[in-house]
């Protein structure tokens, strides 16, 4: 993880990344948990459930680049198959892609586990 990012953003940029991760996780949890409640299980729900699990990882900031790329891939698949809300999927695709490219920020488990250590 340390090779992916030279530093983890701190201060205002780190707070912005934290807010972006929380917003993305809330949207994923809304789509994956709140909307399908009361609907019988179907194969189309699998990407939504994977997205909900990815939202939990995003809130913690664990494996953020991998989870962001997974979210972008799932949402691209959702747009290609036409199984969900088009603009919601495009928004989550964009947020997942930017999180994968920018990284988790200093307020994350990734920064604690993989960040530079001071002796």
Cα 48–chain centre separation? 12
Q: What is the mean pLDDT of residues 39-51?
A: 76
Asked, for residue 85, whether it belongs to a domain, the answer is yes
Crossing angle (nearest 10°) for helices 64-81 and 86-102: 160
| Domain ranges, residue 105 | 11-36+43-114
Q: How far is residue 5's CA from residue 1's CA, in Å, rounded to a whole number?
A: 7
pTM of the model: 0.83
Asked, for residue 55, whether it belongs to a domain, the answer is yes
Q: Are 89 and 79 in contact (CB under 8 A)?
A: yes
**Percent of the chain topping pLDDT 90:** 45
Asked, for residue 102, whether it belongs to a domain, the answer is yes
What is residue 5's three-state secondary structure?
coil
Asked, for residue 70, whether it belongs to a domain, the answer is yes
Mean of pLDDT over the chain = 85
Number of domains in the chain: 1
**What b/e string do you get for 40-50 counting C-beta neighbours within 10 Å, with b at 16 or more?**
eeeeebebbeb
- Span 65-112, pLDDT tens digits: 999 999 999 999 988 988 778 898 999 999 999 999 998 888 899 888
Asked, for residue 75, whether it belongs to a domain, the answer is yes
Asked, for residue 83, whether it belongs to a domain, the answer is yes
Asked, for residue 4, whether it belongs to a domain, the answer is no
What is residue 65's three-state secondary structure?
helix
Q: Residue 45 is encoded by which pair of tokens?
A: 């729900």
Q: Are 104 and 22 in contact (CB under 8 A)?
A: no
**Percent of the chain topping pLDDT 70:** 83
Asked, for residue 67, whether it belongs to a domain, the answer is yes
Task: Report the pLDDT value the prediction gives residue 118, as an integer from 0 to 100.
Answer: 66
């Amino acid at each position: 993880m340390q090779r992916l990012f030279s530093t983890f953003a701190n201060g205002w940029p780190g707070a912005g990344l934290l807010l972006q991760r929380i917003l993305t996780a809330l949207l994923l949890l809304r789509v994956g948990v709140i909307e399908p409640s009361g609907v019988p299980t179907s194969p189309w729900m699998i990407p939504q459930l994977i997205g909900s699990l990815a939202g939990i990882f995003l809130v913690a900031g664990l494996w953020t680049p991998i989870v962001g790329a997974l979210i972008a891939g799932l949402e691209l698949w959702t747009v290609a198959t036409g199984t969900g809300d088009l603009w919601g999927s495009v928004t989550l695709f964009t947020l997942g892609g930017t999180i994968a490219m920018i990284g988790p920020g200093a307020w994350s488990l990734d920064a604690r586990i993989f960040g530079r250590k001071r002796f």
